[in-house]
Structure 1
Amino acid sequence: MPVPSSVLNPPFHVVRLNHVVLTVRDLAAAKAFWGDTLGLQLTQETPGRLYFRAMEERGHHCIVLEKGTEPSARHLGFKVFSEEDLDKAQHFFRAKGLKAEFVEEPYQGRTLRTVDPLGVPLEFYFRMDKLPSVHQKYALYKGVKPLRIDHFNCFSDDVDASVAFYNEIGFRVTEYTENEDRSRLWAAWMHRKGGVHDMAFTHGIGPRLHHVAFWVPTPLNIIDLLDLMATTGYVGNIERGPGRHGISNAFFLYIRDPDGHRIEIYCSDYQTIDPDHEPIRWDLRDPQRQTLWGAPAPKSWFEEGTVFEGTPVRQPAYAASPIVAA
């Protein structure tokens, strides 16, 4: 299944991913996990909401946690290149027959709220409140020492359709997996910022959020986090890893927060800035696709995810059989 040719002059310009809004049942438990254990910086606490950023980030937030009755994802947020791109984006989504309305969102100003054609709720913004740099305030570093938000991965019931849409708005494929007969895409990794991905799609019941990922300095930070979680009551929240992906070459760990939201801790992928970068193809049954060392992912990794609030899910467009750990 060939991937579409890159669109280098999209209808509006997305710079990168920026933030996600998640609902949690217990804000105190979430604050302890995301702040004290992971090491994100709490930038604002308001009634019913927590705002966090990672150590390199100057923007006000990359994670927003809202009090809710059930865990869900509210929006995936992306930064555009200019205010004009917000208006271009609204025109683009409305031309597709998709609702696209401007809202005033705290700390990020005029924000376009919309959905992609498969139902993933999206936010696009240009201006966000800036905070003083803490990158070199090493006394503040704790947990896994997260430097920046890196990517989203979503379950998609039709990966081909997801890739076609995000390709149209300028996301470029870096790596992809085909199904057994090579007729359909099973997964794809797409970027805007010059890494392996800002947005990825995995075949499954969707749309749902599979995980949000954070970049850390070294694999040793991941080992430190494992030791910390194993001795502070979070050993059961370790889901998969540590390991090295075949896809992306990244060193990884997957964990779950107290509400079950999946988080990937991630480092050591590669640059994809060149406009003629050629995507890498993987076979679904290649054991090194999931983990370069050959270890398969657990069943939960293929089946469990965070629902998008108010968004119905659908069964995948076709059946597939990835390698699953016994």
Structure 2
Amino acid sequence: MPIPAPVLAPPFHVVRLNHVVLTVTDLAAARAFWSDTLGLQVTGESEDRLYLRAMEERGHHCVVLERGGAPGARVLGFKVYAEEDLDRAEAFFRARGLPAAFAEVPHQGRTLRTSDPLGVPLEFYFAMEKLPSIHQAYALYRGVKPLRIDHFNCFSDDVDASVAFYTAIGFRTTEYTENEDRTRLWAAWMHRKGGVHDMAFTHGVGPRLHHVAFWVPTPMAIIDLLDLMATTGYVGNIERGPGRHGISNAFFLYVRDPDGHRIELYCSDYQTIDPDHEPIRWDLRDPRRQTLWGAPAPRTWFEEGTAFAGTPARAPSYQASPIIAA
């Protein structure tokens, strides 16, 4: 299955992913997990909302947690290069019959709200309130010492369609998995910022958010987090890992917050800046694809995800059989 050729002069320019807005049922429990345990820094809070950032980030937030009746994902946020890119993006989405409207968003400048063709809710912004650097404020470091938000992974009911759309707006594929007969994409990893991915898509009931990932300084930070979670009542929130992915080469751990939102802690992937960087193909049944050391993922990893608010999930467009842990 050929990967679409990269679009090196896209209709508007996305710098990188920036933030996710999640609904949680208990804001105090969410704060205890995301800030006190993982180590994200609180940058603002109210009775119904909590803003967080990681240690390298200068923008006001990379995670927004909103109180609600059921867990959900409200929007995935991306930064563009210039204010003019917002107008170009609006024209692009409107020309394709997709929703596009500007909204007032706290701590952000002009923000375009839209969605991709499969229904993933997106927003694009240029300016965000800046905060003082805390990268070297080492007294604040705790938990897994998260440095920055790294990527989103979404279940897609049609990975081919997802890849075609994000290619059209300038995302480039770094690695991919085909189905058994090599006629369809099963998963793909796509980037803007020069790492392995800002967005990834996994075959499954979708669209749903599979996970949000944070870059951490070393594998030992992940081990430290495991020790912390195991001794502070969160051992049941450890879902998968630690391990090393075949895809991306990243050292990883997957955990779940009190509402079941999946979070990956991630380090040691590789540079993909060159415009002629060639994607790496993986076989769906290669045990090293999921984990370089051969350990398969649990069934929950393939079946459970966070629903996007107002977007019904659909069964995937074909059936496939990845390796699943017994």
TM-score (norm 2): 1.00
- Counting aligned pairs with the same residue, the percent is 83
Gaps of 5+ in 1: none
* Alignment partner, residue 179 of structure 2: 179
Any residues of structure 2 matched to 1:198-213 within 5 Å, and which? Answer: 198-213=198-213
* Alignment partner, residue 165 of structure 2: 165
CA RMSD of aligned residues (A): 0.3
* Alignment partner, residue 290 of structure 1: 290
Instruction: Report how many aligned residue pairs link the two structures.
Output: 326
- The code of the aligned residue for 2:259 comes to D
Any residues of structure 2 matched to 1:215-226 within 5 Å, and which? Answer: 215-226=215-226
Partner of 2:315: helix, strand, or coil? coil
- The code of the aligned residue for 2:35 comes to G
* Alignment partner, residue 246 of structure 1: 246
**Distance apart, 1:232 and its partner CA:** 0.1
- The code of the aligned residue for 1:293 comes to W
Counterparts of 2:229 and 2:313 in 1: how far apart (Å)? 32
* Alignment partner, residue 318 of structure 2: 318
Counterparts of 2:310 and 2:179 in 1: how far apart (Å)? 30
Counterparts of 2:146 and 2:266 in 1: how far apart (Å)? 9
Counterparts of 2:47 and 2:88 in 1: how far apart (Å)? 34
Counterparts of 2:311 and 2:109 in 1: how far apart (Å)? 25
* Alignment partner, residue 83 of structure 2: 83
- The code of the aligned residue for 2:95 comes to A
**Distance apart, 1:25 and its partner CA:** 0.2
Partner of 1:109: helix, strand, or coil? coil
Any residues of structure 2 matched to 1:1-326 within 5 Å, and which? Answer: 1-326=1-326
Gaps of 5+ in 2: none
CA deviation map 1:129-185 (0-9, x unaligned): 000000000000000000000000000000000000000000000000000000000
CA deviation map 1:217-251 (0-9, x unaligned): 00000000000000000000000000000000000
Counterparts of 2:290 and 2:2 in 1: how far apart (Å)? 21
**Distance apart, 1:47 and its partner CA:** 2.6
Counterparts of 1:305 and 1:99 in 2: how far apart (Å)? 24
